[in-house]
Amino acid sequence: MKRPSLGVVVRILLSIALLVVLLMLIDRDALLKAFVEMDAQLFLIGLLVYALSVGVWSFRWLLIIRAAGENVGYVRVFLTTLVGLFFSQFLPAMVGTDVARMVELSDEAGTNARVVSTVLLDRLIGLISLVVMALVALVFSAGVVGGQDSRIALITIGAFVALVVGWVVFFNRGLMRRFSWVFKLPIASRIESSIRNLYESLHHLQNQPRLLVSALAVSFVMQIIEIASIVFIARALKIEIPIVDFFIFVPLIWIVTTIPISISGLGLREGAFAVFFAQVGVASSDGVALSLLYYAYHLVLGIVGGLVFLRSSVRRYAKSGDKSKSFKASESPTQ
């Protein structure tokens, strides 16, 4: 078995194992009761709010795409984001989403290096805004999260430092030139041109302060809206805790679930919801229910993305078939 396939299988098994262990530790009857007694109307409103957050995310990416010089419409970007959500169901969330977006948009946009650079910068800005929100959450969570606080603080601060240092080092042309010897290696030399094009595209984008500030601002708006969708789920489950608690815990949960050890964060996310919200008196079963219903939002839009991908695949196949017929017709002798 190839390594990538083995990695996927391991993550699937780990996701299942985490969910099974979690279900064994919580009150399963209470979990089922939470689902049965859920307010469906509030849940559906939350779904619309979550879809709005995906729309804002698409707008953030659109800003970066336009700054890269690609003329792509918002609808196309939004549909491509949905396709990314579809593929994230089968891979670690970030990996599946980003690779799918790169491939899907490359079919329509210009150079691959530009498209890849927009996805990478979009993800990087998302991570930075996420870590900043988590840092702010840590300040307000002092004395609330208890024993978990110090470990999460170390992870969050470490992630922030790594992002800042990595950004400064990576975009320092003088420093990066010192690593040019890497391209003399047999394998690296073959892809030198692609790597240099990608680096230049990224450097061009990060050298636009107005773009970075705008994208970061949009990112904060997106995350606030997404947290609001989780609040609607909580109210649907009759979880009555202050809204500020969601803005404390959810960014920290997002930091935890960026660890790529499971498929689409399954198991890891549910455990994080149960642990964090238990600090303010939410039953573990309700925390798991909250997480699974939040994942249901992701799943619903992912299914829509799957249908979009199916439609675009059929169109590409039909187009390639038409080109093949045209080519054969041009080769046939005239009568």
pTM summary value: 0.82
Residue carrying structure tokens 């996701």: 15
H helices, E strands: number in the chain = 14, 0
Going by C-alpha positions, the residue among 239, 7, 223, 248 that lies closest to residue 125 is: 223
Quick one: how far is CA 209 from the chain centroid?
Answer: 24
The residue count for the chain: 335
* pLDDT for 91 beyond 70: no
Specify the 3-state DSSP secondary structure of 264: helix
Q: For residue 289, what are its two tokens?
A: 């229910």
Please state, rounded to an integer, the average pLDDT across all residues of the chain: 80
Better-predicted residue by pLDDT, 255 or 229: 229
Q: For residue 36, what are its two tokens?
A: 């049965």
Q: 28-80: per-residue pLDDT in tens?
A: 888 899 899 999 999 999 999 999 999 999 999 999 989 888 888 899 999 99
Looking at residue 54, what is its pLDDT? 96
Q: What is the mean pLDDT of residues 258-271?
A: 77
Q: 1-33: per-residue pLDDT in tens?
A: 344 556 667 767 777 787 788 778 888 888 899
Looking at residue 258, what is its pLDDT? 75
Q: 294-329: per-residue pLDDT in tens?
A: 999 999 999 999 999 888 888 777 766 655 555 455
The CA-atom distances, in angstroms, between 285 and each of 42, 132, 273 are: 19, 29, 10
Looking at residue 335, what is its pLDDT? 43
Q: 272-296: per-residue pLDDT in tens?
A: 899 889 888 899 999 999 999 999 9
